[in-house]
Structure 1
Amino acid sequence: MHPPLAKDPIAEIQKNWERQGWTSAAAPAAAVTAIMRTQQILLGRARDILKPFKLTFARYEVLALLGFSREERLPMNKASQLLQVHPTSITNAVDRLESAGLVRREPHDSDRRAMLLVLTPEGKQVAEQATRALNEQLFEHTGFEEQEIDQLNTILAKFRQRAGDFPS
């Protein structure tokens, strides 16, 4: 982490947009840039927390998803849909998790073309420990105030809905 800057670079972006005459785009440009920077900050924190578990956030999400499923197993295409990632991305994550012994692939009982992802006992243990660490070090200490989190969740859910992430 680098030392804080003397002034907010995103506020400067907004001013620059306005100086260029793009006043209607200035505040939205600042908002988009702020969201992207916030994502970088939060992903960096998550990366540091997950490093001792030898997990990326993407791999953690696969483990957590399997841990939340009733039978700790899901068809690979269903996991890809629920995580909203391309099948290639899930394959890469699963390859790494499988080589670490945290998940295994099994043939689907009723669909020979499909593959099931199964959480191993070691995977379950790592998922639980990583979740505890994320809860204690990030999710319970995001830097947002409680009322801000509720507002943020509402705003972002409305945006994601309008973007087609899920139906109304």
Structure 2
Amino acid sequence: MTTAEAGTGTQPFTIDGQLCFALHSASRAMTACYRQGLDALGLTYSQYAVMLVLWQYEAVSMGFLCEQLHLDSGTLSPLLKRLEKQGRVTRRRRPEDERTLEIACTEEGRELYDRARLVQRDVERATGMSAPELADLRGRLDELAERLRAATTLQEQRAAGA
């Protein structure tokens, strides 16, 4: 039996047969496609993701931002500090609840919006996919991510109970 035949899944146990690698490769290619346009805005891809949330909601709690981006506060904090230093966001404790850190878009941050939309448009064109195709793929990937998060949570609960 070859190594490729040893897998118990339905896909070949090779690098080309791994969904995780195809997703990883596509993610890296997508991020690289964004890089040139975002560099011109002085944003990393992770900072762009933060700004997308702030452009949509204007100001959010750290907890909400973590939920939206599926990241923890330890990962977001240094990124937010850099955006604040650039004058694109503010971070402050909410007066009504000192425990809650609020992240808000500044005027300078809002000024990036139109230019960032052009970057997104260029990347969408680079995919060669129509708007409905992009929406379908995004929906399917969102569903996959949710199923995988649920499976991970279940595994963690089982491990904690064992």
Q: Which one-letter code corresponds to 2:129 in the other structure?
A: F
Give the structure 2 partner of residue 160 of structure 1. 145
Q: Which one-letter code corresponds to 1:22 in the other structure?
A: A
Q: TM-score, normalising length from structure 1?
A: 0.75
Unaligned runs of 5+ in 1: 1-16
Unaligned runs of 5+ in 2: 151-162
2:52 counterpart of 1:73? no
Task: Show CA shifts across 1:78-123 (max 9, x none).
Answer: 1111111111121111111000000111221311111111111010
SS in 2 for 1:141: helix
CA distance in 2, matches of 1:87, 1:104: 16
Give the structure 2 partner of residue 88 of structure 1. 74
CA distance in 1, matches of 2:129, 2:2: 28
Give the structure 1 partner of residue 128 of structure 2. 143
Task: Show CA shifts across 1:53-73 (max 9, x none).
Answer: 11011101111211101xx11
Q: 2:4 aligns with which of 5, 10, 20?
A: 20
2:45 counterpart of 1:45? no
Q: Which runs of 4+ in 1 moved over 6 A?
A: none
Q: Are the aligned partners of 1:60 and 1:127 in contact in 2 as well (CA < 8 Å)? A: no
Q: Are the aligned partners of 1:46 and 1:138 in contact in 2 as well (CA < 8 Å)? A: yes
Give the structure 2 partner of residue 12 of structure 1. none
Q: 1:122 aligns with which of 94, 105, 108?
A: 108
Give the structure 1 partner of residue 157 of structure 2. none
Over the matched positions of the two proteins, sequence identity in percent amounts to 20
CA distance in 1, matches of 2:96, 2:31: 38
